[in-house]
Structure formats: structure tokens, C-alpha cells
Amino acid sequence: MAKKRILIVEDHPIFRLGLSELINQEADLEVCGFAQDVSEAWAEIKHNPPDLVIADITLRKSDGIDLVKLIGRQYRNLPVLMLSMHDEFLYAERALHAGARGYIMKEEAMEKVVTAARHVLGGKVYLNETVKEHILSGITERGHAKERAPIARLTDRELEVFRLIGRGLSTREIAGKLNLSIKTIGTYRERIKEKLHVKHANELVRCAVHWEKHGTLEPIDS
């Protein structure tokens, strides 16, 4: 039986190597390529088509959620399993809405990635029990989840801008990276401040840096 081919999209070499060695030990799975960002992943998919993409949400030059959406538009039958080190509830829902077929935290990836890959390749959705429970709870208590987590109010693009602020990029640099105008990024910054109840630019930067490092929002002094 032919092995299922897996493309790994991950910009941390050591973690990428660890995943590759783990997957290649399996009789029915093999890593067919690597990519560090969306553009490299897209080139690999077109020239060396995989059966599954395993992609980190946070990539050095781009956003894994954008890759999921791109794949969904042009390769609808290609499943994606997402990895993340951030808040699993927030990102799991966004990944699934974007079209991912599974979501796994990086801290549990070495233990569960093979199981998750087979699950997704079998046409099923992979989530751990904690995430499943949270998503089902969000469906039945739709209005309260956002009140508990202000960052959940951000759109995908606003969250991406927020993360780039946390990495130390200026408004001009973010505009160039996302191919948007400086004015548009300024508008996003104002929307983020409003949704997170942040008053000043320096508070926004501090909050974003804390989120990028720890995956949680730092309380803002009133």
C-alpha cells in the first residue's frame, strides 16, 4: 500500500525535524516536503502534491490561517492539520472556520501527531476532548464566550495585525508585509484598541507583546 504523503509547514527547524522523524517511522506515512511560509508551501503543493498538510498557525513570514483558506479555495480535497502554541480554544475555532480538518497543540504534537494525521486522512476531524467540549459549549452559550475572552472579538485579520505588533513590527512594516495601506493598518489598530479596551498605543504594544510571548492577554491598568 502506498504511503500517505505529508507536507510539513513549520519555520522552527528543530521542531520540524522532530515531526519528520516521528512520521517517517510509520509504515503508512512519509514526509514528502517542507516549507517555512505560505509561499513555499504553495509551491510545494503545486509541484509535489501531498495527501495532507500539517501547518503551524504562526509562521515567520506569514499566517497559517491564510494557507488554510488558500488551500480551501483551490484544493478542496486536501486536508490540513493545524499546529499552534497559542490559546487552543481561540485558534482551534478559527482554524476550523477557515477549513482545517484538525487542530493540535504543539506541546502535545509529538505524542499525538500520528494519531491526528491518520484521523484527518480518514476523512474525520481531529480535536482533543477539551477543545471539543469548549466548542460545543460555545455553540450552546454563544453570547457569553466573547464576554469571557475579549480577544475572541478580533477578526482573523485584526488578530494577525495584533500578533505582528507583538513581534515588534511598525505600522509601515505591517502594511508592507500584508500588502495593505498604512491607513488600513491604522484602522485595524484602532479597532483592536476598541475591542480590547486599550486606550493608548503603548498599551496596545505591551498587550500584543505579552500575547505573542505567553498566549494570554496582560491586564491593562485603567
Domain borders along the chain are 4-138, 149-214
Q: Are 191 and 197 in contact (CB under 8 A)?
A: no
Per-run averaged pLDDT (10 residues), the chain, 222 residues:
92 91 95 93 94 89 86 94 76 86 86 93 88 67 54 86 90 89 94 92 91 69 48
Are both 4-138 and 149-214 of the same fold?
no
Model pLDDT, residue 222: 43
Model pLDDT, residue 49: 94
pLDDT single digits (tens) 113-128: 999 999 999 999 998 7
Model pLDDT, residue 146: 43
Its pTM surpasses 0.75: no
Model pLDDT, residue 86: 65
Q: What is the second-level CATH architecture of the domain 4-138?
A: 3-Layer(aba) Sandwich (3.40)
What's at 210, amino acid-wise? H
Q: Under CATH, which number does the domain 149-214 receive?
A: 1.10.10.10
